[in-house]
Every structure is written in structure tokens, then in C-alpha cells.
Structure 1
Amino acid sequence: MLLTLDLNDARPLHEQVAGAIRRALGEGTYAPGDRLPPARDLAEALGINPNTVLRALRDLRDEGLLEFRRGRGVSVAGRADGRALLLQRARELLEEATRLGYRREDLITMLEELP
């Protein structure tokens, strides 16, 4: 699994990790039943604390996207539905708009003006 984090992003690292995994699931990189690499391996590849990765994995488990099985690791429970993927992208868009000085209402107006 190739994940990247943006260290300039203001979001907490566990949210960035969860978002990256959510996107990978939504894009079909992993199918239901596939096992994810161990949290320790992901943390090492990303250069972050394993507890940060575990927090992201727990969040995704709570969303119903991942399953934890003793002795079998973490596997994909189901593919991220379109709504979950769109919500993740909407959060990212809102954060970017905020960084650029726009308010939520400004962004909503822009979206309403789209054809």
C-alpha cells in the first residue's frame, strides 16, 4: 500500500492516514477480504508512530470499512461507498478553502454556481 502524508497539512496525522486508506479502498486498490499491511509496517513506511496508524485503523473499523481479527490482522470489510469517499474529499476541499481565506458559505455558493 503506497500512502503519502502531507506534513504541511493542518489535519492530525491519524486523519490523514485514515483518509489515504479510505481513498485506496474507494478506488479499488483493496477488495473486501484483503488484508492490510501491519500497522507497524505502515508506520515505518510513513515515518510516524504506530499508535497514530492504529488510531486511523480503529476509526475506519468504527466506520465499518475494516475488520480486526485476532491472529489475522486487519482486513477490508467492504469497499468505501461513494458517499464516504465524497465526504472525505469535501472535508479536504473545505480545509483548502479555509486555508485560502474562504468561509464554508463561500464554498457552498461556489458549488451552487457550478453547472
Structure 2
Amino acid sequence: MLLTLDPAAPEPLFEQLAAQLRAAIAAGELSAGDRLAPARDVAASLDINLHTVLRAYQELRDEGLVELRRGRGATVAARLDDDALRAAITTLVAESRRLGLDPRTTTALVKEALR
């Protein structure tokens, strides 16, 4: 999965990263039990601070999307509850608006992804 961040965007880098990972989970690109890349590797590949990645992972943990285990890294949570799904949908809608997509286009993209 390709992760890209925009330092010029108004959203902090950790929020951008968390939003991309949320979207990947919601789209099924990341499934329950999948391991996320080690935070050090993500930080190095994106040329950002390790703590930025850790903050994004912690935010996803707090939303119930990711489980963090010392020494084992981060994995996609086995059970996604309604609150986590609502958070992912909210992020999707916010990102769609930020990109200037109209609601019909966003809905069409979601329907296409569900097929």
C-alpha cells in the first residue's frame, strides 16, 4: 500500500496517515489480523518523525481499528465495532470533501468498492 503525506495540507501529518490507514481498512485493503508496517519503517519511508507514525497508530488503536502490542507491532483489529466503522466513514466523507468530490461521486465510489 502506497502512503503519501502532504506537508502543506492543513491536517497534521499523523491525521493524514491515520486517515489513509482507516480508508485502507474500510476498503478491505487491510484485513483483520494484517500487520501494519513497523513504525520505524513507515517513518523512514515517508521521511517523518517516528513519533508522528506512533501517534497515528495510537489514534487508530483508540478508535478500535488497530491493536498495538509491544514487541509485536500493530495489527488490524479482529473485530471492528460500529464506532470504528462510523469513524472510518466520517474520515472518508471529510477526505472526499477536501478533494472537492460531490456526494454523488463519493456514493458511487463506495458502491463500486462494495461490489
Question: TM-score per shorter chain, which class?
Answer: 0.7 to 0.9
Q: What residue number does 1:104 align with?
A: none
Larger Rg: 1
Determine helix, strand or coil for the equivalent of 1:74. Answer: strand
Structure 1 spans left out of the alignment, 5+ residues:
98-109
Deviation at 1:89, TM superposition (A): 2.4
Deviation at 1:96, TM superposition (A): 6.0
Question: 2:33 and 2:92 mapped to 1: Cα distance?
Answer: 25
Please tell me the residue identity of whatever aligns with 1:63.
Answer: E
Deviation at 1:18, TM superposition (A): 0.5
Q: What residue number does 1:84 align with?
A: 87
Please tell me the residue identity of whatever aligns with 1:74.
Answer: A
- The aligned runs of 1:1-115 (5 Å cut-off) are 1-78=1-78, 81=85, 83-93=86-96, 95=98
Percent of aligned pairs sharing the same letter: 50
Aligned length: 98
Question: 1:96 and 1:65 mapped to 2: Cα distance?
Answer: 24
Question: 2:7 and 2:41 mapped to 1: Cα distance?
Answer: 19
Deviation at 1:69, TM superposition (A): 1.4
Q: Deviations over 1:36-70 (max 9, x none)?
A: 11001011111110100000100000000000112
Question: 2:65 and 2:88 mapped to 1: Cα distance?
Answer: 12
Question: 1:76 and 1:35 mapped to 2: Cα distance?
Answer: 6
TM-score by length of 2: 0.74
TM-score by length of 1: 0.74
Preserved contact between residue 39 and residue 54 of structure 2 (Cα < 8 Å):
yes
Question: 1:75 and 1:7 mapped to 2: Cα distance?
Answer: 26
Determine helix, strand or coil for the equivalent of 1:48. Answer: coil
